[in-house]
């Protein structure tokens, strides 16, 4: 994975995770990145790694501290 470009995210963007209890938890999106994996380039939200707060990682493929799987992005002004 190679980050080609990174831009800040507007406040309100969240990564949504479905916990084993079916509860939805949220993590703030810090920025949006163009990420290249092989020949594929996609836009992904970047979050603080819930398991290692010293790292910033792509939300897809990550999990919440409670073991929840990434589901989608969401936006809320509150």
Q: How far is CA 25 from CA 17, 32, 57, in A?
A: 5, 20, 17
* Interacting residues of 39 by C-beta distance below 8 A, sequence separation 6+: none
For residue 20, what are the domain limits?
2-73
Residue 78 in domain: no
Alpha carbons 24 and 27: distance in angstroms, whole number: 10
3-state secondary structure of 60: coil
Q: What is the pTM of this model?
A: 0.88
Which pLDDT does position 78 carry in this prediction?
64
Is 70 exceeded by the pLDDT of residue 32? yes
Residue 35 in domain: yes
pLDDT average, residue stretch 60-77? 92
Residue-wise over 2-13: b if at least 16 C-beta within 10 A, else e? eeeeeeebeeeb
Domain count, the chain: 1
């Amino acid at each position: 994975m190679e980050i080609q470009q990174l831009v800040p995210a507007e406040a309100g963007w969240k990564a949504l995770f479905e916990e084993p209890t079916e509860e939805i938890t949220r993590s703030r999106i810090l920025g949006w990145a163009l990420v290249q994996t092989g020949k594929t380039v996609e836009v992904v939200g970047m979050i603080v790694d819930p398991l290692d707060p010293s790292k910033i990682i792509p939300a897809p493929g990550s999990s919440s501290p409670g073991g929840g799987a990434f589901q989608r992005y969401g936006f809320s002004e509150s």
